Structure 1
């Protein structure tokens, strides 16, 4: 069994996402396990992919032809499992603790520093990068979310994304709204015009902890909050953090532009409502493939930058997205390191980047792949410009995944209060954030 740091174990044990850690440990399989993994075979790899498409079956349909292509090229068979986002961090931490994980896996790029601290992932030094064509093939902003500064990255970028505001053109026209909102005041005013006749202005996913964090992190930057101090210690109850969380929850509690039922929504449910014309706007990363899969025509929706407090998006207080994306990592104790390296090289090749990123509507973190005309669509232009000019990475600190869990849960609890008609005040927000901070590992 692999050993990981006591700090990482404390973080896992305290996390609401991984409360089932001990119960799950015996059921975790993969490339280094004794229950049907590759057992070191040079002809087999296990791969945990993240759910990038509208559902798991859609991901399998996208990935399996590419994995067969890899098998034909190399003779190595890849055993695929697509893991839902609601389970992914739990599964990874269980694998890191038990030493029984896949050979290769996808991780949310915001978890890179946390998973790096466990010591379970293979570090990507210059020699490792050399085996996949070199570090300079990748966009620098994407490399910025691959682990703590001053250390070799824990993963390599696979899909890059940023947030945008998607809006329903017909619903806007029917409400007499000429253009998408550029500021939050405009979004609320527009939202009140759109929230009528059983339809709502803005979609949210109150039970999606990662999405909660993404939204309040951006609002936090706009209010001057960082959530961690210069020494990497949690700072969740600053005035800016409280204002950010309250502003987000107030879209439901005070402004009444988010349906109360959204408090219980999980991954992709807000996108489904948007595609079916039940909500007029949604703040999301790459979403085109989901809309298409649910029967929404490309001409029915538009895309614009996420609003800011005033002015135009840019650095500083006009940050309007986190640096979003998916990284690809290799478990350090894989028994098929050579095959794993070949697979990472394949998935980050120019050709596969064009195929996969165009399917998922994401931005290739591999520079050469971005020249494909598929990435000149209006949606991707907004996402690419946001990523380059007005996005910031979530804190690259060891306790980042715990931050997502406890603060994401605090936001979830506040949405539940708002949905039930309860008051959401600065005091109640600060109390929830204080409770969250108490659950962080104590150094």
Structure 2
């Protein structure tokens, strides 16, 4: 018997197919009919200006079609329903399971040995973990990201942690002192809209999501401890309930001298808060049982019915090359997935960037299930009810587990 989730996917794709069949625009969005041209769908505008290097080297034309992130999900759904897609497509790590389940991708497993840059051991282990789905290889890591702790070195030194807190116990101790500075003074700006963050906290408490266990995963003590830890920061007013100042402003004036974010905010702080240069740094995530963070980023995949597999693989192989990955980082500040690329001085000589490189070694893939994003949003809703609404943790977790069971059809 089909699960409710699979039935919903089939109905959704069937409805889209009817819509597409009535549309006159679909053919123009399919892969190019020119035998020497491959079509690439991406959410990165910068790729258009980057691919001429490959075109010159290979003699192959690359038709880059940029899709806004807000439209990408629906556009991919339409492509799956119609069978009219690109040759190569960018896929975010959190979309892997959903679109793999729908048959979007060509399984690349049999091709990996034929291209120097596609072997699994070229990449971070957890990045490879996000490219595998039901024994298929659905893509090749393009760039990666993760989360680490940004902190004000001067302010944390005042409370005894000049190199930042290395454990959650130290984080709580530092936060007590920071929040005691007076009204409007907090310790840390925790991510409130990032569905990955609750999973990070839970991993660090020793929890893990086991596919097949369904909603039972959320009955573990480690998951509850993560929710309790998250709530502690709001209950004790170490973190502000509500939006408050923009994060870089609060970081600059010291009212929130710590925050957790990704590598892109190195540039944000340098650009938006130049007055604190030399007084801030980035360190690895605080640890409990471990200090695991999430493995994010994007992959390059091949649409399941592309007629230009060889050319598409050659392009992806070029994009995965260490030299290409370094050039992409220099141009766009997106971190290489290829391990060898991290030996380049552009990355290895930058201490903050190197910290993210080190954190990437202690990461974990988010659950590779089609329902991940719905689960993540439900967890955020539950945290909102606990942290802002004063809901009881045990009761809210019980209600969340019921919702999770419905989502997962278990």
Shorter-chain TM-score: what band? 0.7 to 0.9
For the residues of structure 2 that align with 1:80 and 1:343, how far apart are their CA atoms?
A: 15
Q: Go from structure 1 to structure 2 and tell me whether the alpha carbon gap of 1:424 and 1:289 turns closer, same or farther (over 3 Å shift).
A: farther
- Residue in 2 that maps onto 1:220: 202
CA displacement, residues 241-285 of structure 1 (integer Å, 9 cap, x when unaligned): 54145235415541323332359x9xxx85786578663222223
Q: How does 1:263-412 map to 2 (within 5 A)?
A: 274=251, 279-287=256-264, 288-294=266-272, 296=274, 299-309=278-288, 317-376=289-348, 377-388=350-361, 390-396=362-368, 400-402=369-371, 404-412=372-380
RMSD after superposition: 3.8
TM-score when scaled to structure 1? 0.75
Contact 2:153–2:162 (Cα < 8 Å) also in 1: no
Q: Go from structure 1 to structure 2 and tell me whether the alpha carbon gap of 1:252 and 1:408 turns closer, same or farther (over 3 Å shift).
A: farther
- Residue in 2 that maps onto 1:434: 402
Contact 2:29–2:84 (Cα < 8 Å) also in 1: no
For the residues of structure 2 that align with 1:339 and 1:406, how far apart are their CA atoms?
A: 36
Q: Go from structure 1 to structure 2 and tell me whether the alpha carbon gap of 1:366 and 1:260 turns closer, same or farther (over 3 Å shift).
A: same
Unaligned stretches of 5+ residues in structure 2: none
Task: Work out which of the residue numbers 206, 209, 216 in structure 1 matches 2:192.
Answer: 206
Give the C-alpha shift of residue 228 in structure 1.
Answer: 2.6
For the residues of structure 2 that align with 1:298 and 1:438, how far apart are their CA atoms?
A: 49
For the residues of structure 1 that align with 2:207 and 2:108, how far apart are their CA atoms?
A: 31
For the residues of structure 1 that align with 2:79 and 2:254, how far apart are their CA atoms?
A: 40
Task: Work out which of the residue numbers 72, 94, 110 in structure 2 matches 1:126.
Answer: 110
Contact 1:113–1:146 (Cα < 8 Å) also in 2: no
For the residues of structure 1 that align with 2:109 and 2:16, how far apart are their CA atoms?
A: 35
Contact 1:249–1:418 (Cα < 8 Å) also in 2: no
Give the C-alpha shift of residue 185 in structure 1.
Answer: 2.8
TM-score when scaled to structure 2? 0.80
What SS does the corresponding residue of 1:65 show, helix, strand or coil? helix
Rg larger for: 2
Counterpart check, 1:191 vs 2:175 = yes
- Residue in 1 that maps onto 2:66: 81
Contact 2:166–2:287 (Cα < 8 Å) also in 1: yes
Q: Go from structure 1 to structure 2 and tell me whether the alpha carbon gap of 1:242 and 1:99 turns closer, same or farther (over 3 Å shift).
A: same
Give the C-alpha shift of residue 123 in structure 1.
Answer: 1.0
What SS does the corresponding residue of 1:235 show, helix, strand or coil? helix
Q: Go from structure 1 to structure 2 and tell me whether the alpha carbon gap of 1:36 and 1:154 turns closer, same or farther (over 3 Å shift).
A: closer
CA displacement, residues 390-431 of structure 1 (integer Å, 9 cap, x when unaligned): 3333344xxx241x2232112221343256443342221231
Give the C-alpha shift of residue 93 in structure 1.
Answer: 4.0
Q: Go from structure 1 to structure 2 and tell me whether the alpha carbon gap of 1:358 and 1:415 turns closer, same or farther (over 3 Å shift).
A: farther
Q: Go from structure 1 to structure 2 and tell me whether the alpha carbon gap of 1:134 and 1:178 turns closer, same or farther (over 3 Å shift).
A: closer
Contact 2:106–2:302 (Cα < 8 Å) also in 1: yes
